[in-house]
Chains A and B, each alone.
Chain A
C-alpha cells in the first residue's frame, strides 16, 4: 500500500559492495516506506541475494561506497545480530542446516532475543511451545519440525516454510524474502503467501526477490524493480512483472517507455 506520507524504512543510495575482492553491487538505489511491498526481479547472478546479504550484514561482504539507512540509522555501524534485533529479517534463498540444534530451541532463543530487545515478555519453553504451534498452524506446518535439527534434512519447500515461520515469530519491520517461492509446491505457495499477507501491515515493509509472477499474484507488490549487473535498472508498478514474464529481460533494453512511474 503506497502512502507518500508514511515513514521511510529503508533508504539505499549508490550502494557498492564487494565479496572476495569482486565488486558485485555497483550502485544500488532503493527506497522503501512502511506499508509497502516491493519485488526485485532480475537474471541469475545479477546481485539480488548479494543485496539481501549486504543489507543483513554478512561479514564476507564489504560495502565500499554508498549509504544504507534503516529507519534513519546508518546500518554500517550495526553488527548483523543488531540489525536483526532492530527488525530486519532475511528469509534465505538457501537456508543453512544446523545439525544438533533443535529447531524449537533455536526458534525460542531467536524469539526471546528479539522480544528482550523490544522490552517485551520472553517465553519459557512451555509457553513458547503453545505459541509456536499456533504460528505453525497458520503455515500448516507439522509440529514434528520442532523436534528436528534446524533445517537438517528438510526438503527445499520445508526449509522455505521454516523461514516464514521465523518471520511470523519475529514480526520484523522489514522482511526480505529471497526466492521464498522457489521450491514451494502450488498449495504451499498459497499457504505461505497467505501467511505473509497476514503479517503485512502499514507499519512494516516487504521486499520479495522472485523470478516468477506466480508469487506476485498472491502478494501484490506496489513496486517492481529489475536488477541487472549489480544495479536496479528499472522500477515500475506491478504490471512490469507481467510484462517481464511475457517478454523476458531482454525486452527491457529494447523497450524504454515503461520507465515512467519512479517512486
Chain B
C-alpha cells in the first residue's frame, strides 16, 4: 500500500505555473522613497501617504514576533520588491479586453470568471498581483447601493469612507506584519453594504501572486451598516517558486447594529515541495469588530496552502448581544507549518462566541491551534464555546493546542473541548476490505472530521474545499 500512496503524495502542485505578463516592478528594498513611489503610482491623497509613512516608522521600531510555533530563516525585507502590476495595454472597459494570457491563467485555475459569475451568481473582483484588473456585477450591486471594488479604486472614489474606517480595527502599529502592510499595501478589496441592505449574492475575490519575489500586501476593508448583511468569499492559489514569498495581508471587518458579516476563505497557496523548499509565508492579520448591538462576525477558513501560516482571524465583540464565530480547518503536509487560531475579545454584555478548529497534520508537518478567549469586566453573561480537534496522519507530524482563557467577569461561561485522533492502518484496511481505496478512505474520514466547518461554507466553496483537502492529503497515509 505504501508505495502506491507515496506516489500520490508526491503529485505536483496543480496550480504551479507563471503567467508571462510584463510586470511593472519596483526596485527591491524598503524605504520612505519606495512608499512614496507606491503612493504616487496609485495617485493617493496626502493623508494616506502620511498613514503609510507613520506605519513604516513604527515598523522600523518593531521586532519580528518569535512566539509562534514555526521555524523559518530570517526574512530579508530589503530583498523584496514592494510593488508590481501587470501593464495593461490600454485602459480596460470590459472583460473582453483583459489580457488573454491572464484569462488563460484563470482558466487553468478552474475559475473562468464570467462563467463562474454567471453560473453561480457570484460577483468576482479579481485581483491579479496587486492591481485589480476586472470587476463584474458592479452595476448590479450598485443598484442596491453596495460598493464592491478594489481598495485603490475606493481610495479614489470614496476617500471619506476609507479615511473613516481604514486602520480602525487593525491599527497601523498593531503588530509587526500589520505595520508593514499598512506601509506598503498595494491593493485589496473594499465592500460597503449600506443600512438595511442584504447583499443579494456572495461577494468573491480570487487572489493570486504572480511575480517572483514580489511580496504581496493586500488590504481588505468590509463595512456592513445597520441591519446590513454580506457573505464574502476569498480564494487563493499561487504558482510555484523555489524562493519563499512573503504575504502579509490585513483584513478589517466592521459590523454596525444588527449587521452580519460572514467571511470565508479557502487558502491554497503554494506550500513548498515535499522537501520543504519554496512556498508562501503567510502572515495575516484578520480582525472583525462587532461594533453594534446584535451584530455578528463569522470567520470560516480552510487553510491548506503556504509553507508557513500565521493567522488569527479575530472578533472584538463590543456591541451588546454581539456574536463572534470562528470555524477553521487547517491542513498541513510535508514540511508545512501552521500556527493559526483566533481571538475572541468579549467587551459588550451578553456577547457570545463559538470556536471550532480542526487541525489535520500529515507528513513531517506541524500544526498549532492558538486561541485567546478574553472576557473583559464589562462583558456580563458572556459565553464562549471552543472545540479544538486535531487529526494526525502518519507518525512524523505534530499537532499542538495553545488555548489562552482570560476571564475577568464571573458571570461568564467558557467551555473548552479538545481531542486528538489518528487515521489508523486498521481503519484504512476496513475501508479497503469494502472495496474503497486509501485515497477515498482518507477523504471520507477527513470530510467527516471537518463536517462542522464545511457546513459553514457556501455550497460551491464547500465542494471546492472538499476536493482540495483530498488532493492535499492524497496518499499521505502508508
Q: Which residues of A contact B (CB under 8 A)?
A: 53, 56-60, 79-81, 84-85, 89-90, 92, 95-96, 98-102, 105-106, 109-110, 113-114, 117, 149, 166, 170
Instruction: Please tell me which one of the listed residues A79, A90, A102, A105 contacts residue B1 in the complex, with CB atoms under 8 A apart.
Output: A79
| Distance, CA A92 to CA B440, complexed state (A) | 21
| Distance, CA A89 to CA B438, complexed state (A) | 17
9 more A-B contacts (CB under 8 A) besides A98-B427, A98-B431? A59-B429, A80-B429, A95-B430, A96-B424, A96-B430, A99-B449, A101-B444, A110-B434, A110-B436
| Distance, CA A239 to CA B445, complexed state (A) | 45
Q: Considering only CB atoms, which chain A residue lies closest to B434 in the complex?
A: A110
B interface residue count range (under 10 / 10 to 19 / 20 to 34 / 35 or more): 20 to 34
| Distance, CA A113 to CA B436, complexed state (A) | 7
Report whether over half of chain B's contact residues are helix, strand or loop; otherwise say mixed.
helix
Q: A81-B435, A96-B430, A166-B434 are in contact. Are A106 and B444 (CB under 8 A)?
A: yes
Q: Considering only CB atoms, which chain A residue lies closest to B419 in the complex?
A: A99
| Distance, CA A50 to CA B445, complexed state (A) | 26
A-B contact pairs, 11 of them (CB 8 A): A56-B429, A80-B429, A81-B435, A98-B427, A98-B448, A99-B448, A100-B451, A106-B434, A109-B440, A117-B435, A170-B434
Please name all residues of chain A whose beta carbon is closer than 8 Å to the beta carbon of B436 when the two chains form the complex: 81, 109-110, 113
Please name all residues of chain A whose beta carbon is closer than 8 Å to the beta carbon of B421 when the two chains form the complex: 99
Please name all residues of chain A whose beta carbon is closer than 8 Å to the beta carbon of B4 when the two chains form the complex: 79
Q: A60-B425, A99-B421, A109-B440 are in contact. Are A79 and B449 (CB under 8 A)?
A: no
| Distance, CA A184 to CA B91, complexed state (A) | 76
Q: Total number of A-B contacts with CB less than 8 angstroms?
A: 76
Decide: B448 and A102 in contact? CB cutoff 8 A: yes
Please name all residues of chain A whose beta carbon is closer than 8 Å to the beta carbon of B432 when the two chains form the complex: 57, 79-81, 84
| Distance, CA A224 to CA B141, complexed state (A) | 76
Instruction: Please tell me which one of the listed residues B2, B433, B440 contacts residue A80 in the complex, with CB atoms under 8 A apart.
Output: B433
Chain A nearest Cβ from B327, distance in angstroms: 15
Q: Considering only CB atoms, which chain A residue lies closest to B452 in the complex?
A: A100
Using an 8 Å CB-CB cutoff, how does the interface string of B402-437 with A read, 1 for contact, 0 for none?
A: 000000000000000000010011110111111111
| Distance, CA A155 to CA B424, complexed state (A) | 21
Please name all residues of chain A whose beta carbon is closer than 8 Å to the beta carbon of B437 when the two chains form the complex: 79, 81
Using an 8 Å CB-CB cutoff, how does the interface string of B434-476 with A read, 1 for contact, 0 for none?
A: 1111101000110111010000000000000000000000000
Instruction: Please tell me which one of the listed residues B424, B433, B440, B449 contacts residue A89 in the complex, with CB atoms under 8 A apart.
Output: B433
Instruction: Please tell me which one of the listed residues A98, A100, A114 contacts residue B435 in the complex, with CB atoms under 8 A apart.
Output: A114
Instruction: Please tell me which one of the listed residues A90, A100, A117 contacts residue B433 in the complex, with CB atoms under 8 A apart.
Output: A90
Q: Considering only CB atoms, which chain B residue lies closest to A84 in the complex?
A: B435
Please name all residues of chain B whose beta carbon is closer than 8 Å to the beta carbon of A166 when the two chains form the complex: 434
Please name all residues of chain B whose beta carbon is closer than 8 Å to the beta carbon of A56 when the two chains form the complex: 429, 433
